[in-house]
Structure 1
Amino acid sequence: MKPEHDRILQAIAAIPRGRVASYGAIAARAGLPRRARLVGRVLRETPDGAELPWHRVLRADGRIAFPPGSRGFREQARRLRAEGVQVRAGRVPLASFGLDPDLDRALWGPRLGL
């Protein structure tokens, strides 16, 4: 496996339960800004049996990437709802359920009066 593919898989694996991230956000966290399509390709090539929270990765606008009504669409929506993520008409409100784009703030919390 290529090192950049491994970084993408690690970034996906790090998405916490009840949160989602866009393909572009995953690429950026893997050190590959503007490589959102590569994230999609890596997910497609990952074996079905891999323990990976693939369902937490969405389009930049919060939509599920599978065609509406398809088996993948229904499975992704089901998995997200089981984690408490709100899914309406195939879309997740990223402001409520997305990862914090500021990694320092996500890890350490907000700066307090500094």
Structure 2
Amino acid sequence: MLPFTERVVQIIGDIPAGKVMTYGQVASAAGSPRGARQVVRILHSMSSKYDLPWHRIINAQGGISTPSDREEKGGLQRELLEAEGVKFLPNGKVDLQVYRWFPEEEFMW
């Protein structure tokens, strides 16, 4: 596994229940501020293998990003987050000021 991929897997695995990070935030914390799309790829290909809490990753606006043909996955993501105590605003977004998690500095690369 490449170093960036290893860092992304570790960071996502460390997000506590009831907290979220954005794709770009994970990429930046892993050392590649412009690597949000790589985070998407890693989530897609490695979530099952590493039992990653994929549902804790949302977009920069606090929303769930799912293609229109995968609405059921977006519903599942919301259900999983709500089960952890994350509350959604009336516009369907998460208040990042309340629920955003920042890794400890020792984990920043």
2:61 is matched with 61
Question: RCO higher in 1 or 2 (8 Å CA, sep ≥ 6)?
Answer: 2
Runs of 4+ in structure 1 deviating by more than 6 angstroms, as ranges, are none
Instruction: State the 1:4 CA deviation.
Output: 1.2
Query: Which structure carries more helix by proportion?
Result: 2
Residue 91 of structure 1: aligned partner: 93
Q: Which residue pairs with 2:76 in the alignment? A: 75
CA contact (8 A) 1:80 1:87 kept: no
Quick check: 2:21–2:102 contact (8 Å CA) kept in 1? Answer: no
Higher Cα Rg: structure 1 or 2? Answer: 1
TM-score normalised by L of structure 2: 0.83
> Residues 3 and 49 (structure 1 numbering): CA distance in 2 closer, same or farther, change over 3 Å?
closer
Map of 2:44 onto structure 1? 44
After superposition, the CA RMSD in angstroms is 2.0
What is the distance in 1 between the residues matched to 2:48 and 2:39?
A: 16
Structure 2 unaligned blocks of 5 or more: none
- The CA deviation at 1:34 is 1.5
Task: Tell me the TM-score normalised to structure 1 length.
Answer: 0.80
Alignment length (residue pairs): 103
For structure 1, the 5+ residue unaligned runs are: 105-114
Match of 2:22 in 1: 22
